[in-house]
Structure 1
């Protein structure tokens, strides 16, 4: 039995999300800026909980936030069958099943409640643990975007990965 549970994110989660995203090991693998302010996350959580966006958090028995995952519908009528996906797990909980629990919950939502056919994400090629997690859940590499984003003073490539439902192609 796990020592955590998955639930929908709430406005009151802003301080815990700020703490999660302030960790250097977490922020270096996202497109977030380091040292986020609480006011940033108070505004950001409102946007993340908007129409067509789904935010899940993983919390321990005491309610401490261990990780977060999000799905957002792609914009545009002809892309409404797809969504983007993002995930972040506290450093001390990485490799302990939190990411898998969040992925399973998000993909259940995508497949069984939203009817999404395509889920896509971007990941840095040096993030081996994340790539392994995504592959475990059926994501495949589709492309590499060169010099995609600035991280720690240098431009880095990202890999685009996606998971398609059977029959989508």
Structure 2
């Protein structure tokens, strides 16, 4: 993998299911996701297909860069998803992020998060973004804090990971400049 090759951030397609499966199922990535082992590629392909349905508000992105052969290779994934069907929480979305081990620490997560935040702030009518992160995932927590997320609480024994219950943090970010009407200065 060429680490100095430029990143391309784009919307995910069903053809990206193998890349999602490879990253999310990787033994160095899976323990830090709220997923279970044995990622099923067909399930991810179905999810990626469904996100293209008119009216769906999910956004799934991939980060890719050229591999050693010059072919595009997915090195990171992220998603922005509604928190539920409640009318009074339509302004809230949750997100997830995964970066291939060979691409961690190279700005891939930041690039994906920046793209998601731009979309949420400028296009998707999102006032509040929420996420869960394992309390021992210091690199991810530092990234989220640098992008304006704040810890709102700790969940003790939140999820089972590799045979042990692990705490998680609830983090959220409010839109830094919520849209107003009429536009200021008009």
Q: Same fold (TM over 0.5)?
A: yes
How high is the TM-score relative to the length of structure 2? 0.84
Instruction: Determine the C-alpha separation between the residues in 2 that align with 1:13 and 1:80.
Output: 28
CA drift of 1:3 comes to 1.8
Matches within 5 A, 1:130-169: 130-166=140-176
Q: How many residue pairs are counted as aligned between the two chains?
A: 168
Tell whether the 8 Å contact from 1:49 to 1:55 is kept in structure 2 after alignment: no
Task: Identify if the C-alpha distance between structure 1 residues 166 and 101 changes in structure 2 by more than 3 Å, giving closer, same or farther.
Answer: closer
TM-score (normalised: structure 1): 0.93
| SS of equivalent residue, structure 1 residue 64 | strand
Q: RMSD of the alignment, in Å? A: 1.7
Give 5+ residue unaligned stretches, structure 1.
none
Contact 1:121 1:160 in 2 (8 A): yes
**Would you say 1:66 and 2:75 are equivalent positions?**
yes
Q: Look up the match of 1:35.
A: 38
Tell me which moved more, 68-77 or 116-125.
68-77
The residue aligned with 1:12 is 15
Higher alpha-carbon Rg = 2
Question: Unmatched 5+ residue regions in structure 2?
Answer: 179-186
Q: How far is 1:102 from its partner?
A: 0.2
Structure 1's 16 and 128: CA in aligned 2 closer, same or farther, altered over 3 A? Answer: same
